[in-house]
Amino acid sequence: MTTARELMTPDCECVRASDTVLDAARKMADLHIGVLPICGENLRLKGMLTDRDIVVKVVAQQKDPIGIKAGDLAEGTPVLVNADDDVSTVLHLMADHQIRRLPVIENNELVGIIAQADIARALKHKVAGKTIEAISQDEGDR
Protein backbone atom coordinates (compact mmCIF):
# COMPACT_ATOMS: atom_id res chain seq x y z
CA MET A 1 0.00 0.00 0.00
CA THR A 2 1.47 3.33 -1.07
CA THR A 3 0.76 6.18 1.34
CA ALA A 4 0.64 9.94 1.01
CA ARG A 5 3.90 10.09 2.98
CA GLU A 6 5.64 8.06 0.26
CA LEU A 7 4.36 10.36 -2.51
CA MET A 8 4.84 13.75 -0.85
CA THR A 9 7.64 16.24 -1.06
CA PRO A 10 8.57 16.70 2.60
CA ASP A 11 9.71 19.82 4.43
CA CYS A 12 7.76 22.22 2.27
CA GLU A 13 8.08 25.92 2.88
CA CYS A 14 5.14 27.91 4.24
CA VAL A 15 4.17 31.52 4.18
CA ARG A 16 2.67 32.82 7.40
CA ALA A 17 -0.83 34.19 7.26
CA SER A 18 0.60 37.45 8.64
CA ASP A 19 3.28 37.79 5.91
CA THR A 20 2.65 40.26 3.12
CA VAL A 21 1.80 39.13 -0.38
CA LEU A 22 5.07 40.75 -1.47
CA ASP A 23 6.98 38.52 0.98
CA ALA A 24 5.14 35.48 -0.38
CA ALA A 25 5.90 36.43 -3.99
CA ARG A 26 9.59 36.89 -3.19
CA LYS A 27 9.69 33.51 -1.45
CA MET A 28 8.06 31.87 -4.49
CA ALA A 29 10.61 33.52 -6.78
CA ASP A 30 13.55 32.50 -4.57
CA LEU A 31 12.35 28.89 -4.35
CA HIS A 32 11.24 28.69 -8.01
CA ILE A 33 7.77 27.50 -7.03
CA GLY A 34 4.23 28.57 -7.85
CA VAL A 35 2.42 27.71 -4.62
CA LEU A 36 2.94 28.14 -0.90
CA PRO A 37 0.86 26.78 1.93
CA ILE A 38 -0.45 29.51 4.21
CA CYS A 39 0.29 28.52 7.80
CA GLY A 40 -0.54 30.02 11.13
CA GLU A 41 2.15 30.58 13.71
CA ASN A 42 1.71 26.95 14.85
CA LEU A 43 2.29 25.38 11.38
CA ARG A 44 -1.39 24.61 11.04
CA LEU A 45 -2.59 24.96 7.48
CA LYS A 46 -4.85 27.94 6.76
CA GLY A 47 -4.95 27.72 2.98
CA MET A 48 -2.89 27.68 -0.19
CA LEU A 49 -1.50 30.68 -2.05
CA THR A 50 -0.64 30.42 -5.75
CA ASP A 51 1.21 32.75 -8.04
CA ARG A 52 -2.07 32.99 -9.95
CA ASP A 53 -3.84 34.22 -6.78
CA ILE A 54 -1.29 37.00 -6.50
CA VAL A 55 -1.68 38.03 -10.14
CA VAL A 56 -5.49 37.87 -10.29
CA LYS A 57 -6.40 39.08 -6.80
CA VAL A 58 -3.65 41.63 -6.20
CA VAL A 59 -1.77 42.75 -9.31
CA ALA A 60 -4.73 42.79 -11.72
CA GLN A 61 -6.83 44.64 -9.13
CA GLN A 62 -4.01 47.19 -8.67
CA LYS A 63 -3.83 46.44 -4.94
CA ASP A 64 -0.74 47.05 -2.84
CA PRO A 65 1.13 43.73 -2.26
CA ILE A 66 2.68 45.22 0.88
CA GLY A 67 -0.70 46.11 2.37
CA ILE A 68 -2.30 42.70 1.83
CA LYS A 69 -1.49 39.70 4.02
CA ALA A 70 -1.14 36.21 2.58
CA GLY A 71 -3.91 35.06 4.91
CA ASP A 72 -6.27 37.58 3.31
CA LEU A 73 -6.15 35.52 0.11
CA ALA A 74 -6.97 32.18 1.76
CA GLU A 75 -10.45 31.08 0.73
CA GLY A 76 -12.56 28.29 2.12
CA THR A 77 -11.30 25.20 3.86
CA PRO A 78 -8.19 23.66 2.33
CA VAL A 79 -8.46 20.13 0.98
CA LEU A 80 -5.80 17.98 2.63
CA VAL A 81 -4.77 14.41 3.28
CA ASN A 82 -3.23 12.65 6.26
CA ALA A 83 0.31 11.34 5.83
CA ASP A 84 -0.73 7.73 6.37
CA ASP A 85 -3.73 7.81 4.01
CA ASP A 86 -3.65 5.40 1.08
CA VAL A 87 -2.81 6.59 -2.43
CA SER A 88 -6.41 5.93 -3.49
CA THR A 89 -7.54 8.66 -1.06
CA VAL A 90 -4.98 11.03 -2.56
CA LEU A 91 -6.13 10.29 -6.11
CA HIS A 92 -9.82 10.70 -5.26
CA LEU A 93 -9.30 14.00 -3.43
CA MET A 94 -7.23 15.48 -6.24
CA ALA A 95 -9.66 14.34 -8.93
CA ASP A 96 -12.88 15.17 -7.04
CA HIS A 97 -11.69 18.67 -6.13
CA GLN A 98 -9.69 19.18 -9.35
CA ILE A 99 -6.63 20.33 -7.43
CA ARG A 100 -3.05 20.05 -8.62
CA ARG A 101 -1.40 20.14 -5.20
CA LEU A 102 -2.51 18.42 -2.01
CA PRO A 103 -1.13 19.38 1.41
CA VAL A 104 -0.20 16.47 3.67
CA ILE A 105 -0.69 16.73 7.43
CA GLU A 106 0.28 14.69 10.45
CA ASN A 107 -0.93 15.52 13.97
CA ASN A 108 -2.65 18.59 12.46
CA GLU A 109 0.66 20.01 11.20
CA LEU A 110 1.79 20.38 7.59
CA VAL A 111 4.50 17.83 6.73
CA GLY A 112 4.54 17.90 2.92
CA ILE A 113 2.79 18.47 -0.39
CA ILE A 114 1.82 16.07 -3.16
CA ALA A 115 1.84 17.57 -6.65
CA GLN A 116 0.69 16.17 -9.98
CA ALA A 117 4.33 15.52 -10.83
CA ASP A 118 4.70 13.34 -7.72
CA ILE A 119 1.74 11.25 -8.90
CA ALA A 120 3.20 10.94 -12.39
CA ARG A 121 6.59 9.79 -11.09
CA ALA A 122 5.27 7.30 -8.53
CA LEU A 123 2.35 5.55 -10.18
CA LYS A 124 1.80 3.41 -13.24
CA HIS A 125 1.23 5.42 -16.39
CA LYS A 126 -2.43 4.45 -16.77
CA VAL A 127 -3.41 5.39 -13.19
CA ALA A 128 -1.38 8.61 -13.25
CA GLY A 129 -2.81 9.58 -16.63
CA LYS A 130 -6.41 9.08 -15.52
CA THR A 131 -5.84 11.10 -12.37
CA ILE A 132 -4.14 13.97 -14.17
CA GLU A 133 -6.89 13.99 -16.77
CA ALA A 134 -9.55 14.18 -14.03
CA ILE A 135 -7.72 16.99 -12.26
CA SER A 136 -7.26 18.95 -15.48
CA GLN A 137 -10.84 18.85 -16.78
CA ASP A 138 -11.24 22.49 -15.82
CA GLU A 139 -8.47 24.59 -17.34
CA GLY A 140 -8.33 26.94 -14.32
CA ASP A 141 -5.22 26.53 -12.15
CA ARG A 142 -6.47 25.55 -8.72
Q: Tell whether the model's pLDDT for residue 142 goes beyond 50.
A: no
Name the residue ranges covered by the structural domains of the chain.
Answer: 4-135
Pick from 32-36, 37-41, 55-59, 96-100 the range whose average pLDDT is largest: 55-59
Provide the whole-model pTM: 0.80
pLDDT of residue 75: 80
Q: Is the pLDDT of residue 95 over 80?
A: yes
Tell me the pLDDT tens digit for each residue of 50-66. 999 999 999 999 999 99
Average pLDDT over residues 103-121: 88
Confidence of residue 45 (pLDDT cuts 50, 70, 90): confident
Q: Got the DSSP string for the chain?
A: --BHHHHSEES---EETTSBHHHHHHHHHHHT-SEEEEE-TTS-EEEEEEHHHHIIIIITTT--TTTSBGGGG--SPPP-EETTSBHHHHHHHHHHHT-SEEEEEETTEEEEEEEHHHHHHHS-HHHHHHHHHHHTTS-S--
The predicted structure's pLDDT at residue 121 = 79
In contact, 31 and 13? CB cutoff 8 Å:
yes
Mean pLDDT along residues 83-89: 94
Residue 26 has pLDDT above 60, yes or no: yes
Q: Is the pLDDT of residue 131 over 70?
A: no
Place 76 in a pLDDT band, splitting at 50, 70 and 90: confident
Would you say residue 87 has pLDDT above 80?
Answer: yes
The domain covering 4-135 belongs, at the CATH homologous superfamily level, to CBS-domain (3.10.580.10)
pLDDT average, residue stretch 21-25: 97
Counting Cβ atoms within 10 Å, is residue 67 exposed (0-12), middle (13-18) or buried (19+)?
A: exposed
